[in-house]
Amino acid sequence: MQAGICFTKTLHDHLIQVGIGMHDSSAALLTYLHLFPEPFLLLSTGTWCISLNPFNDQPLTHEELSQDCLCYLTNTGKAVKASRLFAGKWHEEMVIKMASHFQLKPEYFSAIKYRPEIIKQSTADMDLNQYSSAEEAYHNFMYQLVKLQAASSKLVLEKTNIKNIYVDGGFSKNEIFMYLMADFFPSKNMYAASVAQASAFGAAIVIHNMWNDKPLPNNLVKLHHYKVKNSNLP
């Protein structure tokens, strides 16, 4: 069944056009494809952090599959190579652990500013007793998290000429995450992207001609460019 087909349904006594439905990440990707014509990687962050590369047409390899890569589909059936990491869940659990250890509220960590000088070579087991402050512990945890995220994203970036990376979702609002991503990808343009209801807008694009005779808007995204701050990370 074609994704652009609509059906007429009654909702609260109003006739509306309804599509067949789309996966939220696939729908959000359509928003970015509409807004940005140049090749890009979209890192959709939440409980799962999913790197979506609609410009990588290489078949999935056994090695990629073993590292949690997969393919999403666009509304036209085109494969979109993707990798994923359970980073949001790990972050949530570690913030609770650090808040308890340092006797702080979890909300405290969302306001910490980026200080690359307090990042040190540390092990991934994150023994909090080795840190003298919550800021130091959080920075070093985020370094470990972004190191894994960078490795995950690189799995689908290889063999593609992509210069722009757009990060949306929860981590796009995390200054430390964004600066570290810029540090791990110094040759890329790293953007925190804010699009209101990106999934809903992407789904609406698919059936746009069925319900709307106005042109599609092009000013729905807000971008913040993050530049490399420290090229001497551990």
Closest CA to 183 of 117, 120, 232: 232
Residue 232 lies in a domain: no
Taking the chain, what is the end-to-end CA distance rounded to the nearest angstrom?
51
Residue 1 has pLDDT above 70, yes or no: no
Q: Based on the structure, what is the number of domains in the chain?
A: 1
Give residue for tokens 């709307």. 212
Angle between helices 198-206 and 24-35 (to 10 degrees): 80
Which pLDDT score is estimated for 3?
56
Count of CB atoms situated within 10 Å of the CB of 20: 15
> How much is the average pLDDT of 30-49?
91
CA 194 to CA 170: how far, in whole Å? 10
Which pLDDT score is estimated for 221?
84
Q: Is 195 helix (H, G, I), strand (E, B) or coil?
A: strand
Angle between helices 175-184 and 134-157 (to 10 degrees): 50
Residue numbers of the domain that contains 97:
7-226
Which pLDDT score is estimated for 199?
79
Average the pLDDT over each of 20-24, 134-138, 163-167 and give the range with the smallest value: 20-24
Residue 126 lies in a domain: yes
pLDDT in tens, 182-209: 999 999 999 999 887 777 878 777 777 7
Residue 116 lies in a domain: yes
Name the residue type at position 162: I
Residue 140 has pLDDT above 50, yes or no: yes
Residues 6+ apart with CB under 8 A from 34: 202, 205, 216, 218
Q: Considering the chain, what percentage of its residues have pLDDT values greater than 70?
A: 94
Structure tokens at 26: 């696939």
Q: Which residues partner with 7 through β-bridges?
A: 18
pLDDT in tens, 95-124: 999 999 999 999 999 999 999 999 986 666
Which pLDDT score is estimated for 122?
63
> How much is the average pLDDT of 130-144?
94
pTM, rounded to two decimals: 0.87
CA 62 to CA 77: how far, in whole Å? 22
Which pLDDT score is estimated for 166?
96
> How much is the average pLDDT of 118-147?
88
Which pLDDT score is estimated for 74?
80
Q: Considering the chain, what percentage of its residues have pLDDT values greater than 90?
A: 57
Residue 73 lies in a domain: yes
Residue 144 lies in a domain: yes
Rg (CA), the chain: 20
Residue 233 lies in a domain: no
Residue 183 lies in a domain: yes
Q: Is residue 43 a contact partner of residue 88, using CB atoms and an 8 Å limit? A: no
Which 3-state string (H, E, C) describes 200-211? HHHHHHHCHHHH
Assign 87 a pLDDT band (cuts: 50, 70, 90): very high
> How much is the average pLDDT of 164-181?
95
> How much is the average pLDDT of 157-174?
92
Give me the CATH number covering residue 103. Answer: 3.30.420.40
Angle between helices 87-102 and 134-157 (to 10 degrees): 170
Residue 234 lies in a domain: no
